[in-house]
Structure 1
């Protein structure tokens, strides 16, 4: 199949709609990492993503009678825009089934290119199932977002452009992985032409279908996926993309949301462009790979796969980027309530830059401070904790504490001694009307909600912190409520940050 894909990629029809994107040197990131970092700027495509390559190559190769009837796909994002643009160019009908939760900016982008939008279901899976029904009913041709040889070949043209533009040695090429269409096409071409180059896939830690599938030797179906990097949030990779990845992909790297946010900032500092989370996966994985292998002086290439960023996510990205880069320590410090204590604390912090500071009087003996401090090296965080402790200031490092980073920075000082038997849980609510009412309806019990903090981060779910007063003899009923609710949840009742600031 190697030669077959090589020829399919060389003959792929993509440039009727796509441009040959630049391969750009990243000066700031290269200097920081001690390697030569290049970025393939697929975010500069007409639809701000590589997806139009595969969509057009698939559609232009359909028989004339199929194009006459039209095409259909299911997508909430970049593939939808690629299909709509390709259909506009070819002059055929395009039906795009999108979940009802799709942001209007994406719906309007598809409509502006002549796509017929059908809103159905709460998730991609619902939309996909409905699209398959419409395909049969209206005799349309389905354009799969990733698991199709023509789609894979279209995406593989990116690899051809990279190798044509950079004949000098390349250590590795990094690709984001969702369903696997991009990495399958790139790996098939690279291994046929320059097999010494490593092809490395990057996934979010909470959307790691390809990593698990390659480990187990068979396709794995995830129960749920994190949706921050929504462009790569796929529960199961494709059959053909998995086969090609088994054969040609050298390694997989996992990164968390903080690392993705840091990578978005890195690319912005070099290009002044803002990638979407999935678009920054390759850069985040590249950085992690350099750290793991202590690599120096190599040429590494990342694919900037997309820039369809929702504006309301930027606040979250900015908050988390410094933590993801390990350039901010988030600490909880207890200081005695007596004159001079605060001055002592500030003296110990020295000339470090304070990025955030929350203080509230706690009681007559101690005050608790929530503080963010800019650091140059991750080791500084531990050293600072030990310094403060040595001077009699009990300190917790909250830099990896999700409740502290997401919620407590906005709720510091909310002790409630009267809230007896308080249980605290962190939830992910689906970002749709009725999600809160569904929560309250399922509760169906006379439990008092003693704390509720919600924040929309521009993802497809809302992060919620809830305190509920549940007597000990009703704990079993409460556990049953949690299971029946069917929302992801985490028990944070013993979280040290909660106990310090809110308990």
Structure 2
């Protein structure tokens, strides 16, 4: 830690970075009953903290190294940070990006002086190509997180927090991808105020650092969720793992809905739009505060808003999920007798709550199955109490609020039941966003296998979300599994998911 602290105290970042403000979140503070502040790294010139580490690394290079140029592989904020840092130091920068990188990000890197090389369909392929260029040209490779100088640059965020808030700080919450920001912030905070907790936050489907710490060694995950793409890292760094293992007090895991709710909290209080990884720390702060009652009304909780590089297209998805994430909406599958007056009786049981969504289609089984969204008013147990009331009144109810397939697909597809359809498998895929992906999927299916359902939904990510139905004889299920494994698209069999069974199954 001592070496990291020394590097942080001597880091050179302010040629390009600003000392970002530490702003209060008054509405959220009132809700939680304790002071909550956000560190505004979204206001940096590249709209992300990444400029700090990239510039500190480049600023420390000698003239001979700068003359060889710098290189990295990145499809996100590190790419922009390194491009700007190199331009300011008069060095040539090469940024290798996957061919699937959204055009807006490619344009942003070029606008900051970076020479973009598009190569490969995945980050791993781009990374390998960048390393090959490094070996061929002698350019200096700048790692996005596992480098002492990069870690030190990111650590200046923590140094500023300690200087900006002289009062007591109960905890600082830091997003974790590879761990560069978390390890730098933890080092300086623990050095200056060892009594202050430093808590890392990761998405539940990208728990790279927590998995490594639990295992006692760096682990490479098979896959990670891409919603919070800024922290979608398969493997933590060796140096960042060492520091985080020793210095972090805890790691909190949060889901997509909690992140969306945190984005809304930031917007409500500051009119700023954070990217998902930018709001990750605040989502963790809220989860931690719910489990840890306030013991000092003056002790602040601080979340680092790490960035604002969000595609506009994704805001639709964020808005859809924020209400669920903050417990303001319940999604329910309800069965009731398909008879006159049944709907009126159901609505009366809602006790004046607003219906946010209502999807239904007739089925010949004497019961009506519908998908309903209900606005919740207050109280941690309101949803459970409502479900109990409906069940006591004779309704069959299943909670779909945490059912990913229901929220992504089925809510838009109620009515897709097909009478007499046998042998149908319902599968949820992640398709790469590139031309020919759907055709490749179709070509993987044998001619005798019928495509019975196909629903595609994209939210500005690098992958498209697809729900597909495939009719396959039971004797050929193994062949289907082999074909899909060869295809290589990540998928989950959702045939037995209650959302599929109630609203899509053949009858």
Place the TM-score, normalised by the shorter chain, in its bin: over 0.9
**Aligned 1:215-294 pairs, distance under 5 A:** 215-294=214-293
Root-mean-square deviation (CA), in Å?
1.4
Note the C-alpha offset of 1:364.
7.5
Corresponding residue for 1:124?
123
Q: Which runs of 5+ in 1 are unaligned?
A: none
**Distance across 1 between alignment mates of 2:485 and 2:95:** 34
Corresponding residue for 2:66?
67
**Distance across 1 between alignment mates of 2:125 and 2:17:** 30
Q: 2:444 aligns with which of 439, 442, 445?
A: 442
Contact 1:327 1:377 in 2 (8 A): no
Corresponding residue for 1:488?
490
TM-score, reference length from structure 2: 0.96
Corresponding residue for 1:320?
321
**Distance across 1 between alignment mates of 2:96 and 2:292:** 43
**Distance across 1 between alignment mates of 2:499 and 2:241:** 42
Corresponding residue for 1:396?
398
**Distance across 1 between alignment mates of 2:261 and 2:402:** 15
Corresponding residue for 2:476?
474
> Do residues 80 (structure 1) and 79 (structure 2) align?
yes
**Distance across 2 between alignment mates of 1:399 and 1:45:** 36
Which stretch shows the higher mean deviation, 346-355 or 59-68? 346-355
Which stretch shows the higher mean deviation, 244-253 or 107-116? 244-253
Contact 2:213 2:245 in 1 (8 A): yes
Deviations 1:427-457 (A, max 9, x none): 1122222222222222234100111111012
Note the C-alpha offset of 1:174.
0.6
Corresponding residue for 2:169?
170
Contact 1:327 1:378 in 2 (8 A): no
Which stretch shows the higher mean deviation, 353-362 or 8-17? 353-362
Contact 1:313 1:459 in 2 (8 A): yes
> Do residues 350 (structure 1) and 364 (structure 2) align?
no
Corresponding residue for 2:35?
36
Contact 2:329 2:373 in 1 (8 A): yes
1:347 match: secondary structure:
helix
Corresponding residue for 1:419?
421
**Distance across 2 between alignment mates of 1:272 and 1:92:** 36
Contact 2:358 2:371 in 1 (8 A): yes
Corresponding residue for 1:22?
21
2:225 match: secondary structure:
coil
**Distance across 2 between alignment mates of 1:397 and 1:214:** 33
Note the C-alpha offset of 1:180.
0.7
Corresponding residue for 1:199?
198
Contact 2:433 2:463 in 1 (8 A): yes
**Distance across 2 between alignment mates of 1:273 and 1:241:** 29
Corresponding residue for 1:308?
309
Note the C-alpha offset of 1:45.
0.5
**Distance across 2 between alignment mates of 1:181 and 1:388:** 49
Q: Which runs of 5+ in 2 are unaligned?
A: none
Deviations 1:7-66 (A, max 9, x none): 211111100000011001111111111221110000000110000001011001101111
1:171 match: secondary structure:
strand
**Distance across 2 between alignment mates of 1:130 and 1:8:** 30
Which stretch shows the higher mean deviation, 362-371 or 352-361? 362-371
**Distance across 1 between alignment mates of 2:483 and 2:441:** 9
Corresponding residue for 2:368?
367
**Aligned 1:82-161 pairs, distance under 5 A:** 82-161=81-160
**Distance across 2 between alignment mates of 1:57 and 1:403:** 43
TM-score, reference length from structure 1: 0.97
1:13 match: secondary structure:
coil
1:9 match: secondary structure:
helix
**Distance across 2 between alignment mates of 1:282 and 1:301:** 9
Note the C-alpha offset of 1:378.
4.2
Corresponding residue for 2:386?
384
Which stretch shows the higher mean deviation, 436-445 or 327-336? 436-445
**Distance across 2 between alignment mates of 1:242 and 1:431:** 32
1:200 match: secondary structure:
strand
Shift in CA distance, 112/496, structure 1 to aligned 2, threshold 3 Å: same
